[in-house]
Structure 1
Amino acid sequence: MRHGKKINHLGRTASHRKALLSNMASSLILHKRITTTVAKAKALRKYVEPLITKTKDDSTHNRRIVFSYLQNKYSVQELFGPVAEKTASRPGGYTRIIRLGSRLGDNAEICMMELVDFNELLIGEATAKPKAKRTRRSKAAAGADDAKSSATDAVVVEEAPVAEAAVEEVAAETTEEAAAEAPEEGTDEASADDSAEEEKK
């Protein structure tokens, strides 16, 4: 039974557990990914996620609170620097636990714990394949859309012969104009030849 067991003691005294979680949190922040047991990872998630939330307000007070937990100035700098920038838009759930199977020596469940925003492979897949939005419509609306599309198709079909007839009329007019201009040009040439002969005489 687990009556009154609100936290996992991890088989350690309070001071040992505090030091363990502090060191694991610093390692996670500095390296962005650690391998540990599932029980320790679940305890670490409760420990480190409130600290990451503190970075949303970069004040001296918050930095001192975080330092009191981590006891490592380099991990505090990393946390309030690159980690804070990437997690600024995320409302929570900054870590991910990926189970890796069992350890050979004692058969303990092993997992990899990582910061969600620093896994470049998964971020790349998410940006490359955005989910297609699905719109749901009622059957009546779908039927109305089909009726509209068929009506527009009918209008297009009716307009097509009219457009072809207009193109044929324009083509006929241009050929008539070209034919009318051709004899006139011939008469001009003939009159020019007559005038040249008269000048010679």
Structure 2
Amino acid sequence: MPTPKKGARLASSPAHERLMLANMATSLFQNGTIVTTLPKAKRLRPLAERLITFAKRGDLSARRRVMRVIRDKSVVHKLFTEIAEQMNQREGGYTRIIKIAPRKGDSAAQAVISLVTEPVSAKQAVVKEAEAATKVADEAPAAEAAEEAKAE
């Protein structure tokens, strides 16, 4: 659990905030994505990422550490078997926060926090394609200059 910030908490007491974050983490791992207010999403992110890191370790001690926060055994099982396998190649950044339109009733800033399920290699493939495109673009003027030299 991250160290609570000084000043006002998200809820009425630190214990209530801890329980609220535990419930949101449970819902996040159960459903894959949740809609909440932006400050709650920002407070949930470090907790969720730490729990996923424990799940990637996979030993009994890590499972007991996660069970301190998430009380539902079926969600913990899903975290250790399914989610940890998806995040195995990823070194961090397991969650994503996307801001959405404000809530209608009180205009509170809302956000969608979700698990990142895309494979890591997709980004590396995009980078390689971009590098190949720049090499082709650099070689094209050189090839045209060589053809002009031969024509003269």
Q: What is the one-letter code of the residue matched to 2:31?
A: H
CA distance 1:8–1:76, shift in 2 (3 Å)? farther
Gap change, CA 1:103 and 1:113, over 3 Å in 2: same
Pairing of 1:1-201 with structure 2 (within 5 A): 5=5, 9-117=9-117, 130-131=126-127, 132-134=129-131, 146=143, 150=147
CA distance in 2, matches of 1:7, 1:32: 31
d(CA) in 2 for partners of 1:134, 1:8: 48
Gaps of 5+ in 1: 155-201
Shift of 1:12: 2.3
TM-score of the pair, normalised by structure 1:
0.59
Q: How many Å separate the matches in 2 of 1:50 and 1:8?
A: 23
Equivalents in 2 of 1:8, 1:133: separation in Å?
A: 47
Question: Residues 7 and 55 from structure 1, CA distance in 2 versus in 1: closer, same or farther, beyond 3 angstroms?
Answer: farther
Aligned length: 140
Distance 1:38 1:7, change over 3 A: farther
2: CA distance between counterparts of 1:40 and 1:75?
Answer: 21
Greater Rg by CA: 1
Supply the distance in 2 between the matched residues of 1:18 and 1:33 (Cα, whole angstroms).
19
TM-score (norm 2): 0.77
Q: Percent identity?
A: 35
Q: Give the superposition deviation at 1:57.
A: 1.3
Stretches of 4+ aligned residues off by more than 2 angstroms: 4-8, 133-137
Structure 2 counterpart SS, 1:98: strand
Which residue type is aligned with residue 21 of structure 1?
A: L
1:14 to partner: Cα distance: 1.1
Contact 1:30/1:75 (CA < 8 Å) preserved in 2?
A: yes
Change (3 A) 1:105 1:146: closer
Task: Name the CA distance, whole Å, in 1 between partners of 2:53 and 2:116.
Answer: 14
Counterpart of 2:107 in 1: which secondary structure?
coil
3-state DSSP class of the match of 1:78?
A: helix
Q: CA RMSD in A?
A: 3.3
Unaligned runs of 5+ in 2: none
Residue 77 of structure 1: how far off its partner (Å): 0.4
In 1, Cα distance between equivalents of 2:89 and 2:81: 14
Question: What is the distance in 1 between the residues matched to 2:49 and 2:8?
Answer: 17
Secondary structure of the residue aligned to 1:55 is helix
SS of equivalent residue, structure 1 residue 133: helix
- Report the structure, 1 or 2, having the larger helix content: 1
